[in-house]
Structure 1
Amino acid sequence: MGQREHSYALTVRWTGNQGTGTSGYRAYGREHEISADGKPVLTGSADPAFRGDPARWNPEELLVAALSECHLLWYLALCAQAGVVVTDYVDSASGTMAEQADGGGQFTEVTLRPTVTVADASMVDKAAELHGPAHEKCFIARSVNFPVKHEPTIVVG
C-alpha cells in the first residue's frame, strides 16, 4: 500500500500588543489565539516562566497533550481490534524541558501515566500489552527526538 499524506492548517494570531508592540521585552504580552475552521479557538500564551499567562495553554503543554492524545487514540483503536473493552481512560501526562544558558532548550522526556479501566479481569494483560504497539504507531511520538515513557495502570471496573 502506498503512502498517504495528511495536511493540517491553522492560524496563530498574536493578541498581546499592549500599544507599543515589541518595543521592549516587557512591553508586550505573550497572548495569542489558535484557530482552525469549524473549531473553537484555543487561547495561548508562553509558559509563565517566560512572562506568559498561566490561565492559557502554552506550547509545551500542547506538545505533551498531543503525545497523550495520539497515544490514547491509537490505544483505543488497538483495544477495539483486540477485543479489549475499555470503559474509562485518564492520562496524567507530564513532560520535562531543559532550558539552556543561552535561553534555548528542548524536551528531554515525556511520561504518559494512563489509568485504563477495562470491562473484565481477563482483559488486563492484553490491555497492558497494547501500550507498546500504540506507542509504535503514534504519529506524534514517532516525530519527536526524545523518549516518551509509559507507566500505565490497568483496573477492572
Structure 2
Amino acid sequence: MAYGEHRYQVSVLWTGNRGTGTSGYREYGRDHTIRAGSKPDIPGSSDAAFLGDAARWNPEDLLVASASACHKLWYLHLCSDAGIAVMEYLDHAEGTMADSPHGGKITQIVLRPQVRIRAGDDRELAQRLHHAAHEQCYIANSVNFPIVCEAVIEFASN
C-alpha cells in the first residue's frame, strides 16, 4: 500500500447557462459535467427538489455512492486477507439530508450490503469485517455524520 499524501483532481463544468446566466433563480440550469482525466464524464445536476435534472447525478447521490464504494473496497480487501471468498456484493445505500432555511446537511448514511460468501467460510468473521472496513474507510473517516452498516451475510449456493 502506498502511504502518504494522494491528490485527486476533477473538473466541474457548468452547462446550465440558458442564455441569461444566473439572472434569476429559475433562469438557469443546474446541469454540469464532472470530468477527471480520461475517465468517462459524469452528467451532474442538483436534486430535482432544487430545480435539477433527476436523470443526472447530484452531489448527494455521489456522496452516498462514495461512502458505499469505499466501504465495499475495504471490505473486499479485508475478506481477501482473512481467507473469506466474497462471491457477490450488492449495497442498497441511503443518505438522509436535513434541509433548513440556513442550509442543509447530510445527517446519516445507511449502508445495506447483501453479501454472499463461499460456502463453509466463517460467516461471523465476515460480519465482523464490516466493522473493520468501516474503521479503515477513507470516506467514513472524513465526514462528520454517522455511516451505519446493516449488512446481511449469506452463503453462496454451489
Q: Does TM-score exceed 0.5, indicating one fold?
A: yes
Larger mean Cα displacement after TM superposition, 93-102 or 52-61 = 93-102
Is the counterpart of residue 120 in structure 1 residue 119 in structure 2? yes
What does residue 36 of structure 2 align with?
36
- For structure 2, the 5+ residue unaligned runs are none
Q: How many residues align?
A: 155
State percent identity of aligned pairs.
54
What does residue 144 of structure 1 align with?
143
Equivalent residues in 2 for 1:56-95, closer than 5 Å: 56-95=56-95
Cα distance in structure 1, aligned partners of 2:154 and 2:129: 14
Q: What letter corresponds to residue 55 of structure 2 in structure 1?
A: A
Cα distance in structure 2, aligned partners of 1:143 and 1:3: 17
Q: Is the 8 A contact 2:85 2:121 kept in 1?
A: no
Q: Secondary structure at the match of 2:17?
A: coil
Q: Deviations over 1:8-43 (max 9, x none)?
A: 001000000001100000000000000011100000
Q: Deviations over 1:37-74 (max 9, x none)?
A: 11000000000010000000000010000000000000
C-alpha RMSD over aligned residues: 1.1
TM-score, normalised via structure 2 length:
0.96
Cα distance in structure 2, aligned partners of 1:67 and 1:86: 19
Q: Is the 8 A contact 2:84 2:121 kept in 1?
A: no
Cα distance in structure 1, aligned partners of 2:40 and 2:121: 40
Cα distance in structure 2, aligned partners of 1:100 and 1:18: 28
Cα distance in structure 1, aligned partners of 2:67 and 2:146: 11
Q: What letter corresponds to residue 137 of structure 1 in structure 2?
A: Q
Is the counterpart of residue 4 in structure 1 residue 16 in structure 2? no
What does residue 133 of structure 1 align with?
132
Q: Deviations over 1:69-105 (max 9, x none)?
A: 0000000000000000000000000010101123x01
TM-score, normalised via structure 1 length:
0.96
The runs of 4+ residues in structure 1 deviating greater than 2 Å are none
